[in-house]
Amino acid sequence: MDVMDAVARAVGAAPSMAAMSGDARRDMLYACADAVLAAGDEVVATAMAETGLTEARLRGELDRTANQFRLLGDHAAKPWRRVSAGVAAGGADVVTVPVPVGPVAVFAASNFPLAFGVSGGDTASALAAGCPVVVKAHPAQPRTGELLGALLARTLPEGTFSLVAGGPEVSLELVRAPGVKAVGFTGSLQGGRALMDVAAARPDPIPVYAEMGSLNPVLVLPGATGAATVGALAAAVTGSAGQLCTKPGLVLTESAAFADELAAAVASTSVHRMLTEPMAEAHRRWRADSSTRHRVVAGDGDPAPFAVVVDAAELAGELLEEHFGPSVVIGVGVAADILGRLAGSLTASVFAADDDRDEARALLPELLARAGRIVWNGVPTGVAVCDAMQHGGPWPATSASWSTSVGTEAVERFRRPVALQGLPPELLP
């Protein structure tokens, strides 16, 4: 569909969408969940062919997608207002209610073709907020995007959902479209920054909620260097061929022996192909470049899983950047000496024993300043979709560190509060 036609449809649907009751939005989102599950076999088979992701991974993602629609639907049906009695001039009551911002442009992600794709969390949270959606399909998965887009278009009211496709010029046209009032994006730092710049240059600047690059540092304190930690981290680094936004990209440890064990475990893990050839080529280049300057422990295959093992004092530049694929940088040194060099991340994880808690307490303020989620004795992959989840973080992890793209609080990105002062009760929404 043409961008301008899609946006015009969304603009036309916005008033009725905003007037829809919370119960009606819940029913609408439940219907989306049912539609996606009913076509589950076709959806999974199509996504497998286009992505190389395993059936087990995509089955789990399908269930997450449906549960996400339902959770956000339940949230949409809950009453949301704040009331302060008799506080304004003349003793008027002040009631705050949420108002949908209007049509939302959503950019589907490649690494979660279902849960962050056309049918993903940005789409579901915008619909839950009462906003029509225009989704830009990811070019790496055109058939998956078309299939999911057709399912949602048949399920949702006229104009509420549209799908567009194309290259960067289509993305920029969509953000520039006057009818679009907010943007949800998951992808690269370069792509997110380009959309932010275009959105800021509009006559009426609009917010871009972009999830971008994330290093996701892991601190392994002295009491937690056992085999269980090695196994958990190796699986997190290589799972889904290392193509998760929460993949641990940096592990800090004081133990050279632990570093060697983790590097060997990563290198010995079998992985499937990467999402696209450009991503696979970037992984190959990162291995080749790092091998010329650092110690690299690599496995077989293409993509080959590998670990870059360095002294923590060397950590700088590309060693502290996100690298998509089954690779990790392991820094051997004292974590407190390194944390100040790290940029913002979606997550930070700490593996520790009881005897490490004083050290962990001292490190916690630096972690809180640099991550949107802190994980204790666990890996950051496998983001729970729940009320309390914060899937965001300081720049460059996201463009809006106070927001989340997962969980019920994701809805708040796409509605704004309006204070109604002294209105007669029968006029209140």
Active site residues: 211, 245
* Nearest partner of 254 among 296, 221, 211, 278, judged by Cα: 221
* End-to-end Cα spacing for the chain: 34
Q: Quick check: helix, strand or coil at residue 419?
A: strand
Cα 345 to Cα 138: distance, rounded to the nearest angstrom:
24
Q: In what order do the strands lie in the sheet with 208-211?
A: 161-164, 133-136, 104-107, 182-186, 208-211
What distance in Å separates the CA atoms of residue 269 and residue 241, rounded to the nearest whole number? Answer: 10
Question: Distance between CA atoms of 117 and 387, rounded to whole angstroms?
Answer: 21
| Residue 171 to residue 243: CA distance in whole angstroms | 23
Nearest residue to 232 via CA among 204, 210, 258: 258
Contact 258, 291 (CB under 8 A): no
Query: Which class for 415: exposed (0-12), middle (13-18), buried (19 or more C-beta within 10 A)?
Result: buried
Q: Count other C-beta atoms under 10 Å from residue 105's C-beta.
A: 31
38 three-class SS: helix
Rounded to an integer, what distance in angstroms lies between the CA atom of residue 150 and that of residue 57? 23
Query: Can you list the positions of beta strands (E) in 94-178?
Result: 94-100, 104-107, 133-136, 161-164
What 3-state class would DSSP assign to 406? Answer: coil
* Rounded Cα distance, 374 and 380, in Å: 8
Please give the single-letter amino acid code of residue 13: A
**How would you classify residue 377: left for phi > 0, otherwise alpha for psi between -120 and 50, otherwise beta?**
left
User: Rounded CA gap, 247 and 43, in Å?
Assistant: 25
